[in-house]
Amino acid sequence: MTDQTVLDQAARPEFHPRWYRKRLSTWWWLGEWHYLTFILRELTSISVAWFVVLTLFQLRALLHGPEAYARFAARLESPIMIAVNAVAFCFVTFHTITWFNLAPRAMPVRMGGKRVPEFLVAAPNFVLWIAVSALVAWLLLRTP
């Protein structure tokens, strides 16, 4: 008998008392606050994709000339688009915050043999985010 067969038998023996096994509901993630915040964090990816779609349409509008771009910009002013983008903005910001807070767990930083506390590893990322955002905003807003 190979090792694998022995292991399989140990896991699910042929003759054993009936075990009770509960099946997980499709709404398992509503059962707990931490599960819900996890799913919300995962759903931020939809807003990320939405931004890319928006940007692709924006690039296409730029390609087609000033009138096309003006129409694109006007469409963004409708209440529905504002609402959608406001929600999307909240989600992508949530992504940023959770991402920078979690990333240090994948890359523990050690200095002088001791582990650097996680918020010290996360903090420079936030600083970078603010700095780059300021740069992008400046590039877009300056009038040459």
Partner 1 sequence: MADKIVLEIARYAPDRDEKPSFQSFEVPLRKEWVVLDALNYIKDRVDGTLTYRWSCRMGICGSCGMMVNGEPKLTCATFLSSYGKNATVRVEPLRYFPVVRDLVTALSDFLVKLQKVKPWLIRNDQPPLSQGEFLQTPEQLDLYKQFSMCINCTLCYAACPVVGLDEDFVGPAALALAQRYNLDSRDQGAAERLATLAHPDGIWGCTFVGECTRVCPKHVDPAGAIQQYKLTAALDWVKSFLLPRGHEDAPREAGHD
Partner 2 sequence: MSESTSNSSKAKPSNEAFLWLLFSAGGVVAAVLIPIQLFLFGLAFPLGWLPQPRYEHLMALVQSPLARLYLFVLCSLPLFHWAHRFRFTLYDGLQVKHLNEVIFAFCYGGALLGTVLAAYLLWSI
Residue ranges binding partner 2 (CB under 8 A): 4, 24, 26, 29, 39, 42-43, 45-46, 48-49, 51-56, 58-60, 62-63, 66, 69-70, 73, 76-77, 81-82, 85-86, 88-89, 92-93, 95-96, 99-100, 103, 125, 128-129, 132-133, 136-137, 139-141, 143-144
Put residue 143 in one of left, alpha, beta given phi > 0 → left and psi -120 to 50 → alpha: beta
Nearest Cα to 103, choosing from 119, 114, 88? Answer: 119
In this chain, which of 52, 53, 63, 107 binds partner 1, going by CB under 8 A? 107
Looking at the Cβ atoms of 25 and 112, the one nearer to partner 2 is: 25
Contacts of 69 (CB under 8 A, 6+ apart): 58, 61, 62
Q: How far is the CB of 117 from partner 2 (least distance, A)?
A: 21
* Pairing relationship of beta strands 114-115 and 110-111 according to DSSP bridges: antiparallel
Q: How far is the CB of 42 from partner 1 (least distance, A)?
A: 7
Nearest Cα to 97, choosing from 125, 131, 66? Answer: 125
Looking at the Cβ atoms of 83 and 120, the one nearer to partner 2 is: 83
